A = this chain, B = another copy of it.
Amino acid sequence: MTTIDINDKLLSKNDQHALANRRLLDSNGVWCVNIIGAPGSGKTTLIERTADKFAGDPEIGVLVGDLETRHDAERIAAHGVEVYQIITGGTCHLTARVVGEYLQRFDIGSLDVLIVENVGNLVCPTSYYLGEHNRMVLVSTPEGDDKPLKYPGAVHTSDLMLVTKTDLAPYTNFDVARAGENARRINADIDVFPVSCTSGEGLDQWFDWFGKHAAEKNSQQA
């Protein structure tokens, strides 16, 4: 008797779409980062700050996933970047197929960076590779410093963990060093940067990381 693992079959179809996305991004020298985080972890605000900082150099495009509403895309569009809202209508994650469809909307030859803001969810997006070059996870200080241990998949598959909302840390029992230790117990190689988009603390380290990855990918193509 043969048993069929439905989940494996779905993942493999997703991976086929992801690899097509990756080829399209690579052939156009576009660096892609997939941002994962819980609802309210600060994904949209980080993208707003990043769009302001780079102001078209590199040229950033954004795809935003949400169950409902166009709020996030409207917020981001106000910062002068091309952005499309993907409304999943109840689905808990973005798939490579839908990202591939929305990729067609960009004039990809003029793009340097594609930021994908995934659905606010620390679980399901982790299992869906979208073709990105780097994945990152946001954990905000009000969520608690145990979250890397409780949501290990997000940390294990990410290259960078941003500890966001450090301005709120004094009002919580969040310990940034402990959060970093917890993250490195799951993924010894992960970078951990504390940032606050309100106070600006730590943003330069994030901008350096972002700019360096974008420049490396763009230079590969040139």
Q: Is the interface of A mostly helix, strand, loop or mixed?
A: loop
Question: Chain A 31-55 against B: per-residue CB contact (8 Å), 1 yes, 0 no?
Answer: 0000000111000000000000000
A50 to chain B, nearest CB (A): 19
Interface size class of A (residues with CB under 8 A): 20 to 34
Given contacts A39-B150, A66-B150, 15 further A-B contacts (CB under 8 A): A38-B39, A39-B147, A40-B144, A67-B123, A69-B149, A69-B150, A71-B146, A71-B149, A92-B121, A121-B124, A124-B124, A142-B168, A167-B171, A168-B172, A171-B171
Cβ-based interface call for A61 (8 A): no
- Count identical subunits in the complex: 2
Measured CA separation A146–B39 after assembly (Å):
10
Which residue from chain B places its CB closest to the CB of A174 in the assembled complex? B40
Q: Quick one: which of A39, A71, A153 has the most chain B CB within 10 A?
A: A39
Chain A interface residues (CB < 8 Å from chain B)? 38-40, 66-69, 71, 90, 92, 119-124, 140, 142-144, 146-147, 149-153, 165, 167-168, 171-172
Q: A93 to B147, alpha carbons, bound, how many Å?
A: 16
Q: Which residues of B contact A147 (CB under 8 A)?
A: 39-40
Nearest B residue to A143 by beta-carbon distance? B40
Which partner residue on chain B sits nearest A198 by CB separation?
B171
Q: Cβ of B92 and Cβ of A124 under 8 Å apart? A: yes
Which residues of B sit under 8 angstroms from A40, Cβ to Cβ? 38, 140, 142-144, 147
Contacts A39-B143, A40-B144, A168-B171; is A120 near B153 (CB within 8 Å)? no
Bound: A144/B40 CA distance, A: 6
Q: In the complex, A38→B40 CA distance in Å?
A: 9
Residues of B within 8 A of A121 (CB): 92, 121-124
